[in-house]
């Protein structure tokens, strides 16, 4: 038997911000309760882009790289890039995930995982695909989120030309919701990044 509850606009807005995909308010509340109780009742939901698993696998074998967005019961998310170099035609896609990236999912409180094929770089000198992928991973943004941001990169260097780090300066016209996800972002919308991420 279902029960009706009333929520203030403020509380409902807070629930909306914690939704994952097409979550209903009940789904969000259930996930929060599971997190508070420290339990996950069933295996995480896996979604693929492209949605057809066979097509996803085919394209992953071809590109060897996918973006993995892991959602947890505490409403946090973790983004990683899956280097599927050993995946072949006879490989079990889900088996590789459960024994690899998602091993120990219960203890980690994982409830949902979105997987999408990352674009491949071209030989064009103007192609920024690799840079976008590196920055997205560094800032824990999706490739799509990072692609929507406008920014400039400069070097933080000594008078002798020794490069200490790189500075990513974001334009103030960018989507604030995306910018708010970047840890360490200065109030003037810049952040230092290590040289190694561009290697």
Q: Is the pLDDT of residue 38 over 70?
A: no
In the structure, what pLDDT confidence band is assigned to residue 20 with cuts at 50, 70 and 90? low
Q: Mean of the pLDDT values across residues 95-120?
A: 93
Q: What is the pLDDT of residues 71-103, one digit of tens each?
A: 999 999 999 999 999 999 999 999 999 999 999
Q: Mean of the pLDDT values across residues 171-175?
A: 96
For the entire predicted model, the pTM comes to 0.76
Residue 25 phi, psi dihedral angles, 5° rounding: -55, -40
53 vs 103: CA distance, rounded Å: 20
Q: Which residues, in sequence order, are CB contacts of 75 under 8 Å at separation 6+?
A: 18, 31, 32, 35
Q: Mean of the pLDDT values across residues 56-62?
A: 96
Quote the DSSP letter at residue 180: T
Share of the chain above pLDDT 70, in %: 95
Q: Is the pLDDT of residue 48 over 90?
A: yes
The CA dihedral of 190, 156, 139, 187, to the nearest 10 degrees, is: -20
């Amino acid at each position: 038997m279902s029960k009706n509850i009333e929520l203030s606009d403020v509380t409902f807005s807070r629930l909306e911000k914690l939704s994952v995909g097409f979550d209903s308010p009940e789904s969000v509340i259930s996930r929060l309760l599971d997190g508070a109780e420290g339990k996950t009742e069933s295996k995480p939901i896996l979604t693929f882009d492209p949605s057809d698993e066979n097509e996803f696998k085919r394209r992953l074998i071809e590109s060897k790289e996918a973006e993995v967005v892991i959602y947890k019961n505490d409403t946090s998310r973790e983004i990683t890039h899956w280097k599927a170099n050993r995946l072949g035609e006879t490989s079990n896609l889900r088996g590789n995930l459960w024994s690899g990236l998602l091993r120990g999912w219960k203890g980690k409180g994982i409830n949902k995982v979105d997987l999408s094929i990352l674009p491949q770089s071209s030989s064009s000198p103007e192609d920024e695909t690799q840079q976008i992928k590196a920055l997205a991973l560094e800032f824990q943004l999706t490739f799509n989120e990072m692609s929507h941001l406008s920014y400039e990169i400069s070097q933080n260097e000594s008078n002798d030309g020794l490069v200490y780090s790189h500075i990513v300066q974001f334009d103030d016209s960018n989507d604030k919701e995306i910018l708010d996800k970047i840890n360490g972002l200065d109030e003037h919308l810049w952040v230092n990044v290590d040289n190694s991420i561009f290697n």
